[in-house]
Amino acid sequence: MKKRIIILSLLCLFILSSTAFATNWVLISKGMFGMSDYLEADNVAKNDNLLLFWYKFNDRGVWKVYKEEENLTTDQYRHLEVYYFHGSQISKQFLTPTAYHSDSGIKNIINMALKYAKDGTDIGTVPNPQ
């Protein structure tokens, strides 16, 4: 009897420790050809003039997840990290920040991110796009 309880306890501990954390992907826009933009709303941070957030879209079956930094003073953004997912597995990653860009197309994403922003700089690790 004790052996069964120990095995059951270990099994429960294993199942609970491997549970993935849920993400809160919010639809920003639905584009042509099924390419929709999403914001991870639970992890948006604003520190002075910088806004940090996770953003994703599906490009022909590959989820692309970006860690973005927006300079609210200059109205420019850059990719801090980029991850490509096939299913729930990372197939490529780029960890070198890009140069700052200006693009009016990202305005919808920035405006949505500002609605969810909390003070700070920590937006966690790359969220699973699924």
Mean pLDDT of 7-36: 62
Enumerate the β-bridge partners of residue 68: 53, 79
pLDDT at res. 68: 97
Indicate whether 92 belongs to any domain. Answer: yes
pLDDT at res. 77: 96
pLDDT at res. 35: 77
Q: How far is residue 65's CA from residue 94's CA, in Å, rounded to a whole number? A: 11
Indicate whether 29 belongs to any domain. Answer: yes
pLDDT tens digits along 32-71:
766 789 999 999 999 999 999 999 999 888 999 999 999 9
Residue reference for tokens 């780029």: 94
**With bands split at pLDDT 50, 70 and 90, how would you rate the model's confidence at 105?**
confident
Percent of the chain scoring above 70 in pLDDT: 81
pLDDT at res. 81: 97
> pTM for the complete prediction?
0.80
Look at the chain and report how many structural domains it folds into.
1
**With bands split at pLDDT 50, 70 and 90, how would you rate the model's confidence at 127?**
very high
Query: Residue 30: which domain range?
Result: 21-119
Indicate whether 126 belongs to any domain. Answer: no
Q: How far is residue 7's CA from residue 48's CA, in Å, rounded to a whole number? A: 51
Q: 93 by DSSP, 3-state: which?
A: strand
Indicate whether 35 belongs to any domain. Answer: yes
pLDDT at res. 12: 40
Indicate whether 37 belongs to any domain. Answer: yes
**Residue 8: phi, psi to the nearest 5?**
-65, -40
